[in-house]
Chain A
Amino acid sequence: GAVVSQHPSWVICKSGTSVKIECRSLDFQATTMFWYRQFPKQSLMLMATSNEGSKATYEQGVEKDKFLINHASLTLSTLTVTSAHPEDSSFYICSASFSNQPQHFGDGTRLSIL
Chain B
Amino acid sequence: SQQGEEDPQALSIQEGENATMNCSYKTSINNLQWYRQNSGRGLVHLILIRSNEREKHSGRLRVTLDTSKKSSSLLITASRAADTASYFCAQGGSEKLVFGKGMKLTVNP
A residues within 8 Å of B by Cβ?
4, 6, 32, 34, 41-46, 49, 91, 93, 95, 97-108, 110
Q: A6-B42, A34-B96, A95-B43 are in contact. List 17 more A-B contacts (CB 8 A).
A: A34-B97, A42-B101, A43-B2, A43-B100, A45-B99, A46-B96, A46-B98, A91-B40, A95-B42, A101-B94, A102-B45, A103-B45, A103-B93, A106-B42, A107-B42, A108-B42, A110-B40
The prevalent SS among residues of A at the interface is: strand
Which of B2, B48, B88, B102 sits near A102, CB closer than 8 Å?
B48
Q: Tell me how many residues of B have a C-beta within 8 Å of chain A.
A: 22
Instruction: Tell me the total A-B contact number using a CB cutoff of 8 A.
Output: 62
Q: Contact at B2–A104, with CB atoms within 8 Å?
A: no
Chain A residues whose C-beta falls within 8 Å of the C-beta of B41 in the assembled complex = 107-108
Least Cβ–Cβ distance between A69 and chain B, in angstroms: 15
The prevalent SS among residues of B at the interface is: loop
Chain B residues whose C-beta falls within 8 Å of the C-beta of A45 in the assembled complex = 2, 99
